Amino acid sequence: MQSSRDNHSTLAERFNKDEARVSWHDQTLWWIRQKRDKAAWSLGEEWEGLRSQASQIKAHTLSNLSGYLEEFEANAIANGAIVHWAADAKEHNEIVHKILQDNKVTQLVKSKSMLTEECHLNPYLETHGIDVVDTDLGERIVQLANEAPSHIVLPCIHWKKEEIGELFHKHLATPAGNADPSFLTNAARIHLRDKFLTRRVAITGVNFAIAETGEFVVCTNEGNADMGAHLSDVHIACMGIEKLIPLRRHLGVFLRLLARSATGQPVTTYSSHFRKPRQGQQLHIVLVDNGRSQQLAKEDFRNSLKCIRCGACFNTCPVYRRSGGHSYHTAVAGPIGSILAPNLDMKQYADLPFASTLCGSCTNVCPVKIDIHDQLYKWRQVLTKEGYSPKTKTVAMKTMAATLSKPGLFSFAGKWARRIMRIAPWLVNNKMNPWYKQRNMPAAPKQSFTEWYKTNRNKDKK
């Protein structure tokens, strides 16, 4: 795993050492963006309406979150589930561990849950001697490689099939040099089947929790959540408190948006409803805050809690596609991660809101209409004001602001800069200038426009 001391720019530069690979990564994710476009257009005019509806349902839910959480809890308990509340990642991990201890279990299967990634559940459990097997194929691949997922929907999108072939050869004893996707998938299926049949505890994530019924829905393409949950004696479902929706009928809006936005499919292969434990089974639901109510209290950033983790903003982000998920050094990467992470730790994630050109494509693809690029801009202001900006940058910005607020100084500085660039171009065309590394400097004309205007247009004006 990457060292968290390196910032996005450094990690991105490292990723860009292999330019052909960056191009491949970019093309792969752009292809998914195109599939998303096609799926959105297949609904015609309905698409933008669905986005608005989803955004409004989430806005309503967030405005009444405490009430809906209590309603959900009461209904879930009535259904026979055991509900736990975790204030933060630590409590979440301890609750899960306690359930395992109570059941005298040291092995489990887990389907994809970005919340457990956010809470770093796997390393926590491993230090307590628990064996965790991720059952989502992509997550299993990064787990075998001892890496974090680089994408919330496509955890191993940064891996090439040949590399997966090698990895499986090493860990699952597949024949060397075999990189056939169907063959490798089948090998993984056989490997995982054994885990499903022998593990007594299954952890799943939650895509949507319904206050009205106390049930929750888990969306997967592989059916691995169902395999795990149905074969287990103990099912633990971990969810952030923002996963709630008020009514079951609201699901129609979100399920239609989720898979179309994520991968361009009309719907996920499995959208499984979990309501009651089967007889003799335990069903635990862990409701996790971990900074969410703090984010809810921030008017400028509240909307980020509408996120349904589709990953569309990753796939469209021209920066993400060329810097890779690990450059964000956080569980949820990409544009949405860059507005969520500073809420958890401003110091550690102060670089992320700057890892963007503010192009706004993320906001346009977001199925719940989060104003992502506006929030990136706002986080920049907050982080600077809170003192998380490099001192050299502050000095440079103060100098720039002083020059630009004095027209005489601006003209003088401009004139001299252009003159120096003409007389001594080596002063700017060198290694110290990051612009010059891969780009030429613009030509420096003798006259600025203001100077031209004074000679050509302004003769009789003051």
Partner 1 sequence: MTVGLFLPCYVNQFYPQVGVASLELLEKLGCDVVYPLQQTCCGQPMANSGYEHLSSATDELFMRNFHEFDYIVSPSGSCALHIKHHLHGKDHEASAKVRASMYELTEFLTDVLKVEHLDAKFPHKVGLHQGCHGQRGLMLSQMSELVAKPFSKLEKLLGMVNGIELVDLDRKDECCGFGGTFCVMEEAVSAKMGKDRVSDHTRNGASFITGADMSCLMHLEGILKRQKSAVEVKHIAEILNAG
Write down the least CB distance from residue 61 to partner 1, Å. 25
Question: Are 160 and 101 in contact, with CB atoms under 8 Å apart?
Answer: no
Residues 6+ apart with CB under 8 A from 271: 207, 217, 218, 219, 255
Write down the least CB distance from residue 308 to partner 1, Å. 17
Give the Cβ contact number of residue 329 at 10 Å: 24
Write down the least CB distance from residue 234 to partner 1, Å. 43
Write down the least CB distance from residue 261 to partner 1, Å. 11
Give the Cβ contact number of residue 153 at 10 Å: 23
Residues 6+ apart with CB under 8 A from 257: 50, 51, 54, 308, 310, 367, 368
User: Angle at CA 248, nearest 5°, toward 247 and 251?
Assistant: 105
Query: Measuring CA to CA, which residue among 115, 123, 122, 120 is closest to residue 152?
Result: 115
Inter-axis angle of helices 407-423 and 391-404, to 10 degrees?
110
Residues 6+ apart with CB under 8 A from 244: 61, 65, 68, 69, 72, 208, 209, 210, 211
Q: Which is nearer to partner 1, 88 or 374 (CB)?
A: 374
Write down the least CB distance from residue 438 to partner 1, Å. 4
Q: Which is nearer to partner 1, 69 or 341 (CB)?
A: 341
Write down the least CB distance from residue 435 to partner 1, Å. 6
Q: Which is nearer to partner 1, 154 or 312 (CB)?
A: 312
Question: Are 167 and 343 in contact, with CB atoms under 8 Å apart?
Answer: no
Q: Which is nearer to partner 1, 176 or 404 (CB)?
A: 404
Q: Which is nearer to partner 1, 246 or 318 (CB)?
A: 318
Inter-axis angle of helices 251-262 and 19-42, to 10 degrees?
150
Alpha-carbon torsion angle 321, 326, 331, 332, nearest 10: -10
Q: Which is nearer to partner 1, 246 or 414 (CB)?
A: 414
| Residue 94 burial by Cβ neighbours in a 10 Å radius (0-12, 13-18, 19+) | middle
DSSP 347: T
Q: Which is nearer to partner 1, 246 or 425 (CB)?
A: 425
Write down the least CB distance from residue 404 to partner 1, Å. 4
Q: Which is nearer to partner 1, 10 or 221 (CB)?
A: 10
- Radius of gyration for the chain, computed over Cα atoms and rounded to the nearest angstrom: 26
Write down the least CB distance from residue 75 to partner 1, Å. 36
Write down the least CB distance from residue 26 to partner 1, Å. 7
Q: Which is nearer to partner 1, 131 or 453 (CB)?
A: 453
